[in-house]
Chain A
Amino acid sequence: MSQERVNADEGQEEQGILVLLPGEVHTGNKFGPNTVSRGAVLFECEWDGGRFEAGLFMGGMFRSGQFVGGIFLGGIFWGGTWVSGTWEGGFDRSGIYHSRGDIPFPL
Chain B
Amino acid sequence: MSRLLIASPHRYPDLARLWHRYTVRELVPAFERLHFEVTVNIFCDANADQFRPSLFPGVRFSRSGPGMRDFMEFYDATLHAPCDFLFFLDADTFLLDGEWVCSYLRAFDDRNVAAVSFVPRKSAPAIFALLCRAESYRALPAPALACRYEFPETWPHGVNLQPGDFAARELGRDGKIVINIASDESLRHTANFRGTTGIRSSREYTRLAAGEQAFTQSIALFPAYLVAAYDNILLGCLYESLYHQPFAPDAAGIPWGGSLTVSDLRQELAAVRDTKQLEALREKFRQSKHNILRMAAREGVELSIPSVLPNT
* Chain A residues within 8 Å of B, Cβ to Cβ: 22-25, 27, 39-41, 43-44, 46, 54-56, 58, 61, 70-71, 73, 76, 78, 88-89, 91, 93-97, 99-102
Contacts and interface: CB of A to CB of B under 8 A. Distances in A.
Given A27-B221, A95-B151, A100-B64, A71 B72 contact: no
Most chain-B Cβ atoms within 10 A of its Cβ — which of A25, A44, A71? Answer: A25
Nearest to A20: B210
Given A76-B152, A94-B152, A95-B150, A101 B69 contact: yes
A38 to B, nearest CB: 10
A78 B153 CA distance: 9
A76 B213 contact: no
Contacts, number: 87
Interface of B: 64, 69-70, 72-73, 143, 146-153, 155-156, 158, 205-206, 208-211, 213-214, 217-218, 221
Contacts of A46: 155
A22 B73 CA distance: 32
B149 A91 contact: yes
A54 B72 CA distance: 25
B184 to A, nearest CB: 31
6 contacts: A23-B210, A44-B156, A78-B155, A88-B70, A99-B72, A99-B73
Contacts of B148: 91, 95-97
Given A58-B205, A97-B147, A99-B72, A25 B221 contact: yes
A78 B282 CA distance: 40
A40 B205 CA distance: 12
B152 A41 contact: no
B210 A22 contact: yes
Contacts of A97: 72, 143, 146-149
Nearest to A38: B210
A41 B72 CA distance: 24
Contact of A70 (B147, B209, B211): B209
A89 B70 contact: yes
Contacts of A23: 210-211, 213-214, 217
A73 B205 contact: yes
